Structure 1
Amino acid sequence: MAGTSIKAKLRAERLAARDAINAAERVEKSLSLASHGMAAIAFSEQTIVSGFLPIRSEVDVRPLMDLLSERGARICVPVVLDKETIVFRELAAGAELVSGVFGTVGPGPEAAELDPDIMLVPLAAFDRRGHRIGYGGGYYDRAIYRLQQKGCNPRLIGIAFDCQEVASVPDEPHDIRLHGILTESGFRDLSDEAIVKIG
């Protein structure tokens, strides 16, 4: 089976497992993830962290974003501009959110566009080496590549539930590996060195 077909099968299986988590359990797991994240992610005041506003059965990362913001981080979220591009707009307290594509909402064009220092990356599946399967659109891959071309080197932390882990994700030489995985059971540091303080 080709890598693309394997990825599609793994994506479908892990998303089905994620969908099977009931709403109350999803809240509990998301709060546990937030607690582990605050204990594991080192950051300084004004560090720019990109999170995301959950859709479907994704981890609700808003509790973690709130805690990071309370401690001085600047929070931004992805906004889809077109079929190829996402940008990261600052999520300010009380800012109006506008509807986007794929059932998403996010800050409008008046919000500042930021380049994240740390990216909390949604995913469909992951393995212990830090390889991820996204939703198939390639938005994050392209966004990370654009940031790297600008000289930015964001820390990439995959956000998932434990049930989304697979034995192995088919990877190619150009694939970008995550620096860590954060789930309801804890943080796994997959970088060559621990996440260090930024800023």
Structure 2
Amino acid sequence: MASDLQERKTAIRRDALARRAAMAPAERIEASLVVCDRIAERVDARPDVVSGFLPIRSEIDIRPLMTAFADRRARLCVPAIVDGELQFRELVRGAPLEPQGFGTHAPGADAAILDPDLMLVPLAAFDRRRGRVGYGRGYYDRAIAALRAKELSPFLIGVAFACQEAPAVPMDAHDVPLDLIVTEREVIAP
């Protein structure tokens, strides 16, 4: 049963990432900017700590949005992979970044570790129920569970291109639906 669920997730991930990779670079840039604007307009309060991510491959680029949150005086962090788990390290302009594997980078071990109250979550695929298929390692699922174990409840915004939508995303017991998913076409909310 679990292997069937994993096989379905793998197929959904593969197909959604192929659609994303097929986007023209200019189309990805424009769509990324639209998503950043939608989120900046929707999140009118100033979150204290925002976790984002630095894009890899054909992933959506939310760096303009992260800059907008920094301009609102939010502290920024990005995930670092430490002993197989995510650690949200403060992202400070000009500080050196270190490779994390998977083609991404994060601040070094001397950076402050933060607990985000707003998380901009990357994904491979999503559905209308705000279900998410990640990249298959469970990093974000475990990170969200760890934050909730500390009695923290970060607001979870999935960011993606509309072409990454799947008809239905299979959900494991540990999978957490996102609060919102924002694409260049729309905001999917409860």
Task: Please classify the TM superposition score into its range, dividing by the shorter chain length.
Answer: over 0.9
Whether the aligned pair in 2 keeps the contact of 1:49 and 1:75 (CA below 8 Å) is yes
TM-score, structure 2 length as denominator? 0.94
Q: Which amino acid aligns with 1:29?
A: A
- The Cα of 1:24 is off from its aligned counterpart by 1.2
* Alignment check: 8 A CA contact 2:130 2:189 kept: no
Aligned to 1:160: 160
Counterpart of 1:25 (choices 8, 20, 27) is 27
Deviations 1:95-149 (A, max 9, x none): 1111221111111111110000011000000001011001000000111111111
Matched, 1:42 2:44: yes
Aligned partner of residue 100 in structure 1, secondary structure: strand
Distance change >3 Å, CA 174–CA 106, structure 1 → 2? closer
Counterpart position of 2:123: 123
CA distance in 2, matches of 1:94, 1:12: 35
Aligned residues: 188
Please give the residue correspondences for 1:32-71 in structure 2 after superposition, counting only pairs within 5 Å: 32-44=34-46, 47-71=48-72
Is the Cα contact below 8 Å between 2:50 and 2:77 reproduced in 1? yes
- Residue in 1 aligned with 2:80? 79
Q: Considering only aligned residues, what root-mean-square deviation do their CA atoms show, in Å?
A: 1.3
Q: Deviations over 1:37-61 (max 9, x none)?
A: 11112332x6111000000110001
Task: Name the amino acid aligned to 2:36.
Answer: A
Unaligned runs of 5+ in 2: none
The one-letter amino acid paired with 1:3 is: L
Deviation, structure 1 residue 5: 1.1
* CA deviation vs aligned residue, 1:54-82 (integer Å, no higher than 9, x gap): 00110001011011111121110001113
- 1:172 aligns to what SS in structure 2? coil
Q: Which amino acid aligns with 1:79?
A: A
Percent identity (aligned): 50
The runs of at least 4 consecutive aligned structure 1 residues that moved more than 6 Å come to none
In the alignment, which residue of structure 2 is the partner of 1:193?
Answer: none
Counterpart check, 1:178 vs 2:164: no
Question: Counterparts of 1:33 and 1:179 in 2: how far apart (Å)?
Answer: 16
> What letter corresponds to residue 70 of structure 2 in structure 1?
S
Aligned equivalents of 1:102, 1:9: Cα separation in 2: 20
Contact (CA 8 Å) 2:50, 2:117: kept in 1 or not?
Answer: yes
The letter for the 2-side match of 1:14 is A
Give the corresponding residue for 1:151: 151
Partner residue, 1:103: 103
Question: More deviation in 102-111 or 121-130?
Answer: 102-111
Shift of 1:188: 2.2
Counterpart Cα distance in 1 of 2:73 and 2:151:
24
Partners of 1:13 and 1:175 in 2: CA distance: 20
